[in-house]
Chains A and B, each alone.
Chain A
């Protein structure tokens, strides 16, 4: 490998730099700090969320395991609700879309800060407050909400519908409302930063695919979260202001009769539409940054261009666009008009095409490349595997007649955990191993690397654990096991016999989940160890071509070199192989071929 560093002459026009500059930047407004705060918050959240998932898996198969205090069925549902809410919002949305984007995005487009530092900090503190409100909800009378992360009314609209549906549900609403506001602010910040602060030469076509991922996710985030916020307010009004948007007249919950309000006769289906108009884009918000990063890491360690770069940009945008048109597939058997089901089925299956295009590009990028198997590369390859396995069940569930059998069974749980949750987490792991030097470097401290040896163990154990846990879940789903069941034993009637038959496989799934969660201890150990004592990272440890590794945009140098202009001369991932087989790389900031500058 022959890196080709070349000293740049000083830029003759430095005045273009930093139109929104705040000097000196107070540390709490620094985007690196905010990114680290988000990631720390997500780490706390993911540890809690994983612990809750183990409680669920154990309770499903051994309900008597917990005796003091016991987990009652309502506690189980509170755990389900907290697990889903924490993981979806505070891990899978927060870490990629706010954490890593704050840490990496500005440098990757050649900027030194985000567009709105104060809004940025406000958004983080609102997110932190939202998490505190949510985590406080188990402590209030009745405990936390039990209506799942989807909070379907009337269960979520009427306090008498169950324990946790009084104050606990109000706290859930407050938490998610705060989160929606924070997320919208953060997305506006991301969009403005990408549109306005790209450095000279950073054309749209040269934007790294990670930036395209953040950009698309931020676009749909604004659309989705604003609708969710409106829906949350309507639900709050139904609960406390005497309206009935979501509750029909004559609804009788636990002896409490709803005799109608303003405006008249409501319908729970309105909530389903509003919620899933947010909820489905939300899963793309969670996964789009991971897709972008996977493309870049595969190319980086394969020493190749991303195959079909422009097509990858197009498919990212197409996934974002189609992602807001297919919410109805959550409602095929939930009261949607059967004709509408057909329409939503078509839009849903259509998204298989841009998704498949991405998989083909990933295979073509690594094809006969003899890549370097770093931990980041392994997790990116794992992402591809999970994306394929989890993604292919998508078109199956998109067919209403099949959804009629599979809806709300464990088959769906397996599907979305593989494609969205675990693939998203693998994206986050890849990001952590890849960007750890930038995560740890500050003005005063050098960047460090995570242990690659521990990283490889972490990858292989996680990869085996994921498939051990989630593949069999498809089969219990096909056997008819529904979601959200607190236990499968001691249930009367024919249902009891049917559910008990799935117990052997379910015990296996629980063992798999415990194994998978235990494997994450390696990651925590690696983090704790490498934070202080990890190997010192060279300035561009992975021979990357993107700007976050530019010497003067590095967190260590950024303040000292704030006057130096940054310019981009080429697309990312330019690697060259000589006839002798030697690979060299040309970073985006290398002006080897200065003629290719295309200032916008």
Chain B
């Protein structure tokens, strides 16, 4: 498809894409970039041509000079907006499916923590009074809750490729921005709220998780690794974690 070839010329600008919704997003982004590049070039050419040509009487045709180009621009922007909203609706208007794997993400100054609910598939209750990284309980899991015992807390996010993930984003202290460039995923974590996002990682590899909301002096170094594993490797990893937690 020639359009796709042209779009792809700009693809090296973006990091590798490792999520199911990513390629459509990239395609739309690159289409946008080509269109605005063309419009910017056109505007500059028109401006410079007008300046270079010899003087003539001034233009008077409001319809052809203003309203016709505006109508074309309106159509272009409407088309882009409709496409963008369809993509947005597909990823954000509905929640994750029931089969999605649950992981909780907690942002705090200046680290990300990830919690897996364990075999009971239910997260234990957390209480901020109990949170203490020094005591090995950074997210404040309440041990008196029966669901807490099998919860696993990690400092890297490990996910199986090809399975839908339902992330529950939280922040303990200030607003943090959960950003995974390779998954084309970004969502702020807000204190006092649980925000869900869902996605499917596709390509195994190690990717960066950054913080994109100014959160204090360690903002620039607040990051974690995301490791996307083959499903088999993931089972081995989670089993080892569960065993280490409850020998």
Contact = CB atoms under 8 A, between A and B. Distances in A.
A405 B184 CA distance: 5
Interface string B41-75: 00110110011011111110010011001100110
Interface in A470-492: 475, 478-480, 482-488, 491-492
A248 B191 contact: yes
Contacts of B172: 251-252
B84 A367 contact: no
Contacts of A307: 58-59, 65-66
A369 interface: yes
Nearest to B213: A408
B226 to A, nearest CB: 8
Contact of A404 (B51, B186, B218): B186
A335 B208 CA distance: 22
B39 interface: yes
A495 to B, nearest CB: 4
Interface in B187-234: 187-188, 190-193, 195, 206-221, 223-226
A284 B91 CA distance: 32
A13 to B, nearest CB: 36
B174 A155 contact: yes
A73 interface: yes
Contact of A480 (B15, B190, B217, B221): B15
A549 B95 CA distance: 63
With most chain B CB atoms within 10 A of its CB, the pick from A74, A346, A480 is A480
Interface in A460-519: 475, 478-480, 482-488, 491-498
Nearest to B60: A307
Interface residues of B, number: 87
Nearest to B56: A368
A339 B181 contact: no
Nearest to B178: A333
Contacts of B143: none
A403 to B, nearest CB: 8
Interface in A520-578: 577
B28 interface: yes
Contacts of B14: 478-480
B81 A399 contact: yes
A345 B85 CA distance: 9
A360 interface: yes
B13 A479 contact: yes
A482 B211 contact: yes
Interface string A580-599: 01000000000000000000
Interface string B108-134: 110000000000000000011101000
A494 B219 CA distance: 16
Q: Which DSSP category, helix, strand, loop or mixed, fits chain B's interface?
A: mixed
A233 B112 CA distance: 32
B47 A381 contact: yes
B7 interface: no
A373 to B, nearest CB: 9
A581 B191 CA distance: 69
Interface stretch (A47-55, A95-103, A275-283, A348-356): A348-356
B216 A360 contact: no
B245 interface: no
Given A267-B192, A492-B221, A251 B128 contact: yes
A440 B25 CA distance: 54
Contact of A342 (B13, B28, B88, B91): B88
Contact of A399 (B80, B140, B217): B80
Nearest to B221: A491
A146 B25 contact: no
A294 B175 CA distance: 40
B6 interface: no
B88 A338 contact: yes
Nearest to A331: B188
Contacts of B223: 491-496
Closest 8 CB pairs of A and B: A248-B192, A399-B84, A480-B181, A495-B223, A367-B50, A338-B92, A495-B208, A392-B36
Given A388-B43, A479-B14, A483-B212, 7 more contacts: A154-B175, A346-B81, A353-B73, A357-B70, A366-B47, A487-B220, A497-B208
Interface of B: 13-15, 25, 28-29, 32-33, 36, 39-40, 43-44, 46-47, 50-51, 53-59, 62, 65-66, 69-70, 73-74, 77-78, 80-81, 84-85, 87-89, 91-93, 108-109, 127-129, 131, 140, 172-175, 177, 179, 181, 184-188, 190-193, 195, 206-221, 223-226
12 contacts: A148-B214, A161-B109, A308-B65, A334-B188, A342-B88, A349-B81, A381-B47, A404-B184, A405-B184, A409-B212, A486-B219, A494-B208
